[in-house]
Amino acid sequence: MSPEETLELLSQIALVDDRVVKVDHIEQRAQLTMWAVVLRDVPLAFAGEAVGRHYAESAWPIMPKDIASRWRDQVRDRLGRSTGTFEPTDHPNLDPDDVGGYVRALRAHRGAVAGGDAEPVGLRELMPAVGDRLGGGRVAELVPANDAFREAKETRYPRRERPAGPPELAVHCPKCGASEKRPCRLPTGRQMVGTHPSRRDVWEAQAVGGES
C-alpha cells in the first residue's frame, strides 16, 4: 500500500484502539514512515481485514509486523495452491520457443498470484469441468486411458461386482413386457423398484422346470 493508504489504515486503527497511533506529531510521522515501509507489499483491503482478525484474537495493540506476517502466510498459502503454470491461451502473443519470455510470464504470474491480483491455478481448475461445455468455461480434451493405466487402476481399485438384482430379471415380464435383464416399468413408464409378481412366477416356473 502507498503511504497515503497507510495513513488511512492508521486512522482506521485509531478509531478502534487509541493506544496504537502516536499523539505527538513528530512521532506520528516516524510511525507512518515505519508502517509504510513494513506494509509496502500489503494491499490496504487485506491490511484492514488483518486488523479485524488481530483484535478478534488479541488484546494487544496491533503492530505492523502482525499484519505483515498474516500477509506472508497468505502469500505462502496462495503460492502453495498454485500449480506454477498458466494457460497458453492467457498469453496468445507468447512464442512457445521464447524461453526467456515464458520465464518472465511465469514470474509475472507468480507475482500476481502472490499479490492477490491473480487466482492461483490449481489442478482442479486445469481439469475438464463436467457439464461446463455449454457454459463456455474451460474445456480440456480427455485423453483415452491406455492399457498400462487401466491395469494399474484395476490393481489399485478393483472393480466391485455389480449386484445382479432379482433373479427373475433373467426372464421376459408378461405383465409390462420388459425384456430380459431390463427392469419392470409402471404403466406411467417409470422404472419399478421391484418386479411384477407374474414375472417372478414365470422365472420360478422356468427354474423348477429346469431342475426336473
Return left, alpha or beta for 101; rule: phi > 0 is left, psi -120 to 50 is alpha, else beta. alpha
Tell me the backbone φ, ψ of residue 185, rounded to 5 degrees: -125, 145
Closest by Cα among 53, 51, 46, 56 to 20: 51
Smallest separation, CB 175 to Zn ion (Å): 4
- CA atoms of 61 and 31, how far apart (whole Å): 14
Smallest separation, CB 173 to Zn ion (Å): 3
SS3 191: strand
Close Cβ partners of 183 (under 8 Å, ≥ 6 residues apart) = 165, 169, 191, 192, 195
Smallest separation, CB 165 to Zn ion (Å): 13
Smallest separation, CB 167 to Zn ion (Å): 14
The residue (of 108 and 192) whose beta carbon lies closer to Zn ion is 192
The residue (of 113 and 178) whose beta carbon lies closer to Zn ion is 178
The residue (of 46 and 203) whose beta carbon lies closer to Zn ion is 203
Smallest separation, CB 196 to Zn ion (Å): 4
Across 50-101, the runs of DSSP E, i.e. the strands, are none
The residue (of 91 and 175) whose beta carbon lies closer to Zn ion is 175
- CA atoms of 27 and 210, how far apart (whole Å): 102
Closest by Cα among 27, 32, 62 to 47: 62
The residue (of 54 and 199) whose beta carbon lies closer to Zn ion is 199
Q: What residues line the site for Zn ion (CB under 5 A)?
A: 173, 175-176, 178, 184, 196, 199
